[in-house]
Structure 1
Amino acid sequence: MSLTEEQKTSDPAPASGGDSLWRTAGAWRGVGIAFGVYVVTRIAQLAMVVWLDHSTPHAGGLRGRLLVWDAGWFLKVATTGYPHGYTEDMAGQLQGNELAFFPGYPMLIKLFAFVGFDPRTAAIGVSWVASAGAAIGLYLLGTSLYNRRTGYALAALCMTAPVSIVFSMAYSEGVFLAFVAGMLVAAHRRVWWAAGLLGLAAALTRPTGAAAALALAVAALMEVARIRRERDASIWPPIAAAAVALAGVPSFLIWVGNRVGDPTAWFRIQAAGWGTSFDYGTSTVNFLNTTLTLGDGWVPISVALILIVAAVAAVIALIGKPWLPLAVYGVVAMGLVYGQAGFYHSKPRLLVPVLLTLLPAAIAAGRARPRVAVLSIAAWAVFGLWYGAYLVAVWPYTI
C-alpha cells in the first residue's frame, strides 16, 4: 500500500464534507456503480427465491414471501397504529404486540400509503428504496474512511451477506442501515446537523439505534477535543448532534411505558412475544455448545458457524484499529445481538447491519488485485444470496 493510501486510512476527516467526498467518490458514476451493485444483487436473490419456492399458489408467491413474519407487525403499526396497553390471551397470559416495534419504518410505510400506494406495496417499496440508499451510503462510508475500492467492496459484501434477503423484504434493516451509514458518513465529514438527524432516525427505527447514537457521541467527543485543541469552530454542533441521537431510543421506550402505564412495558412485551431479554450471552453460549455438540439440523449448525465467524471477523477488524466511532457502533451492536436471549435463527439477520464483521474482508478486497477481489466477492455472494433465499423460500421458520 502506498504512503498516500496509508495516510488516507488514518488521517482525520476533512473539515468540509460533501463536495470533497462527492468528487473522491467519483460523483454520479461512482454512486451509480454502487446502485448497480444493489440492483444486481436484489435481482439475483429474488430469482433464487422464485427458483426455490415450491409452495402452492395460495402462499402468495414471491410477493407473499416478502411480506411474512415481522412484516405483518410493521404493517399493523402502519395501518392501525399502536395499541394502548398489553395484549393477553384467553388464559390471561401476556402476549407480544405492536408496541415491540419501533416507529421509523412503519411511519415511512404510512407516508407512502398516504399518497396512494397499497400498504403492502408501500412496505416493500420503502424497504427497496432504503436498501438502495444503504448500498450507496456504505460505498460513501468505505470511500470516506479508506478508498473507492473498499467502498464498493463494503457495499457488495453487505448486500450479499447471509440473510441479506431482508433488504428485499418488508423488514426494517434496510431503512436502519441507510440511516446508520448516512450518519457515520456525515459524522466523518463533520456535517453535524445531518449526523444528528440521521442518528435520531436510526434510533427510532430499531433498538440497536442506541449503538449508533453512542457511536455518534464518540465522534462528537473526538470533534470537541479537536476543536479545543485547534480552536477553529464551535463545539456546540457536534454536542447537539449527539444529544439528539441519544434521545431517540429512550424517548420511544418512555413513550411505550407511558402509553401502557408501566415503565418496563417494552421489555415485558419483547420477552412475552419473542423471548427476548438480555442475559449477557448465556443463551448464545448455550446455543453454540448444544448445536455444535448435539445439533442435527444444518441450518442451526450454519447459524452457529456464522456467529463464530462474525465474532472472529470483528476481533480482526478491531486489531486493525478502525475509525473509533465505527468500532464503538460495531462492538455495542454485536453485544446486543450476542448478549440477548431470543430466537437463535434471527441472530444472523440482526448481524447484517453491524458492518464491523465485514470490514476486514472489505479492506482486503480494496487492497487486492481487482480480479482476485471480484472473484472472492462473487464466491461470497453466491453462498450469501442462496442462503437467504433458502431461508425464505424453503425453511419454515421466521428469520
Structure 2
Amino acid sequence: MPDTRIPAAAPPRTPRRDASLLRERAAASLRAAAPALLAYASVRLLGLVILGTAAAAAGKSPHTLLNARWDSLWYARIATEGYGYEIRLPDGDVHSDLAFFPLLPALERGISEITPLSVPDAGLLVSWLASLVAAWGIYAIGARLHGPRGGVLLAALWGAYPTAFVQSMAYTETLFTALAAWAVYAVLTGRWVWAGGLAVLAGLTRPSAAAVVAAIWIPAAVTLVREYRAGARAGELLRGHARMLLGVVLAPLGWLAYVLYVAVRNGGLFAYFEVQGEWGNGFDGGRALAGFVWQNLTSNVLAGLGLCAALALVFWLLWLCCVRQRQPLPLVVYTAAVVFVSLVGAGYFGSRPRLMMPAFPLLLPAAVALLRTRPERTVAILAAAAVASAAYGAITLLGSGPP
C-alpha cells in the first residue's frame, strides 16, 4: 500500500532559527576554508619572522615598525583624540586627519577600552584578524570559481603579494579587503542586502569603496536592463528585485556619510575633496602617473623600463581576468575599479602598489596556472614568492619612506 503519512512540516522560520542556520553555514564555510587560512597564515608568519630577524640586526623594534609608523600614527591619534588634528607644511599646505576614514580608529578605540591593549596594538589586532577574514573571503571566491584548491592558492598568493607586509600593519588595507571580498562574494551568490551592508562598512574604511559600490550597482543595472528587454514590466522588476534594490541603495551610504560629515564640519560641500587635495591625492586622470613614468625614463632608463613593465603586467593581468578568463561581472568591475582608482590619483607614487593590493582577483590567472602545475612545483613557487615578498617588506619597513 502507498505511504499515506503526511510529511512532517518544516520547522517555522524564526529569528533564532535563522541565526542558528547562519552560524552553522559560517562554521561549515570556515572548516572548508581552514587549509586556505593555514596557507595564508604560514606565508604571513614567514614575513614576520624575516622582518623580526632583519629588524633585530638593524637594532629596531619590529613591533614599532608595524604599529607606530606613517598612516598608523594618524589612525591612532584619531582613535585617541578624535578628529581635528592637522599639520601645516612650510609651503602652506595643510595635512588634516579628516583625510582618514573612521572605521579603523573607531575599532581601535573600542577594543582598547574593553581590553588591556593600547590603541596602536588594537590596530594591529584589527588588521591581523581582518587579514584572516579577508583570506577567508578570497578563498570563498576562488573556490566558487575554480574549486577548493584554487581558493587555497588564491589566498596564499594574496599573502605573498609584493606589499603584503602592509597586511600585518595597523593600516586599513586588510580591513577594507575583508569587507570588499565578502561584499563581492555576496553579489556572486545573490545576497544583495548583505552586499550593500558590507559596502556601507567598506565606505567607512577607505575612499576606494567606490569600487565595491560599482561591483554592486553595475551588475544590478545589467540584471534590470536584461529582464526589461526580455519583456518584464517595471512593477514586476521592482517587486522581483526588492532585495537587490535595497542593496543598491545601501551600498554608497557609508562613503556618503563620511563625505557629508566632513562637508558639515568644514562648511563646504566638497570639503573632503579639498582635504584630499591638500594631501596631494586629488584625481588628475593619470597625469601624475604619466609624469612619474616619463621622469624615470629620462633620468634612469632601467628604472623607467622596469616601471613600464610593472604597469604592463597589471594591465595584462586585468585583460586576462576580464577577457580571457571571463570572470563574473562583479569581480571584473571591482578589480578594474580598484586598479583605476589606484592609478589616476595625483598622490605619492610609491603607495600605488599598496593601494592596488585589495585587487586580489588580479592573482586569479596565477592561481589558475598553479592549478595545472605539479604540487611540489606549486609549493616551491609559493615559497619563493613568500620569501621575496617578506624580503621586500623587511627592506621597505626598515627604510625611511612610507609604503
CA distance in 2, matches of 1:297, 1:388: 22
CA distance in 2, matches of 1:49, 1:214: 37
Q: Which residue, out of 33, 40, 43, partners 2:42? A: 40
CA distance in 1, matches of 2:363, 2:344: 20
1:313 aligns with 2:345: no
Task: Please give the per-residue CA displacement for 1:249-269, whole angstroms capped at 9, x wherever unaligned.
Answer: 222112111111122222222
User: Could you say which structure has the larger radius of gyration?
Assistant: 2
Alignment partner, residue 113 of structure 2: 114
More divergent stretch after superposition (224-233 vs 344-353): 224-233
| TM-score calculated relative to the size of structure 2 | 0.84
Alignment partner, residue 167 of structure 2: 167
1:79 aligns with 2:84: no
Change in Cα spacing, 1:286 to 1:132, as seen in structure 2 (3 Å) is: same
Aligned residues: 374
Task: Please give the per-residue CA displacement for 1:13-50, whole angstroms capped at 9, x wherever unaligned.
Answer: xxxxx999x99x97444311121122211210011112
Q: Which residue, out of 344, 353, 356, partners 2:349? A: 344
**1:8-19 superposed matches below 5 A:** none
CA distance in 2, matches of 1:56, 1:270: 35
CA distance in 2, matches of 1:145, 1:221: 23
CA distance in 2, matches of 1:257, 1:305: 40
**1:140-219 superposed matches below 5 A:** 140-219=140-219
* 8 Å Cα contact 2:47-2:386 kept in structure 1: no
**1:93-112 superposed matches below 5 A:** 93-112=92-111
**1:392 shift after superposition:** 0.8
Change in Cα spacing, 1:227 to 1:105, as seen in structure 2 (3 Å) is: farther
**1:90 shift after superposition:** 8.2
Alignment partner, residue 256 of structure 2: 250
Alignment partner, residue 388 of structure 1: 393
More divergent stretch after superposition (371-380 vs 250-259): 371-380
Task: Please give the per-residue CA displacement for 1:216-262, whole angstroms capped at 9, x wherever unaligned.
Answer: 11233345467776989831101111211122222211211111112
CA distance in 2, matches of 1:144, 1:209: 23
* 8 Å Cα contact 1:291-1:304 kept in structure 2: no
Alignment partner, residue 362 of structure 1: 367
Change in Cα spacing, 1:106 to 1:302, as seen in structure 2 (3 Å) is: farther
CA distance in 1, matches of 2:269, 2:36: 43
Change in Cα spacing, 1:306 to 1:392, as seen in structure 2 (3 Å) is: farther
1:291 aligns with 2:310: no
* 8 Å Cα contact 1:147-1:366 kept in structure 2: no
* 8 Å Cα contact 1:227-1:235 kept in structure 2: no
* 8 Å Cα contact 2:286-2:343 kept in structure 1: yes
CA distance in 2, matches of 1:255, 1:389: 38
SS at match of 2:358: helix
SS at match of 2:251: helix
Change in Cα spacing, 1:369 to 1:234, as seen in structure 2 (3 Å) is: farther
**1:385 shift after superposition:** 2.4
* 8 Å Cα contact 1:303-1:348 kept in structure 2: no
CA distance in 1, matches of 2:342, 2:153: 24
Q: Which amino acid aligns with 1:352?
A: M
Task: Please give the per-residue CA displacement for 1:179-215, whole angstroms capped at 9, x wherever unaligned.
Answer: 0011111111112222111111111111110111110
CA distance in 2, matches of 1:385, 1:178: 21
Q: Which runs of 5+ in 2 are unaligned?
A: 1-19
Q: Which residue, out of 349, 373, 380, partners 2:378? A: 373
SS at match of 1:96: strand
Change in Cα spacing, 1:96 to 1:238, as seen in structure 2 (3 Å) is: same
| TM-score calculated relative to the size of structure 1 | 0.85
**1:15-30 superposed matches below 5 A:** 27-30=29-32
Task: Please give the per-residue CA displacement for 1:302-337, whole angstroms capped at 9, x wherever unaligned.
Answer: 666433322221122222221111111111111111
Q: CA RMSD in A?
A: 2.9
Q: Which amino acid aligns with 1:236?
A: A
More divergent stretch after superposition (258-267 vs 91-100): 91-100
**1:91 shift after superposition:** 6.8
Q: Which amino acid aligns with 1:53?
A: A
Q: Which residue, out of 226, 241, 244, partners 1:238? A: 244
Alignment partner, residue 5 of structure 2: none
CA distance in 2, matches of 1:74, 1:303: 31
* 8 Å Cα contact 2:46-2:387 kept in structure 1: no
Task: Please give the per-residue CA displacement for 1:143-193, whole angstroms capped at 9, x wherever unaligned.
Answer: 123321221121111111001111100000000000001111111111222
* 8 Å Cα contact 2:192-2:247 kept in structure 1: yes
1:322 aligns with 2:327: yes
* 8 Å Cα contact 1:306-1:348 kept in structure 2: no
Q: Which runs of 5+ in 1 are unaligned?
A: 1-17
Q: Which amino acid aligns with 1:341?
A: A
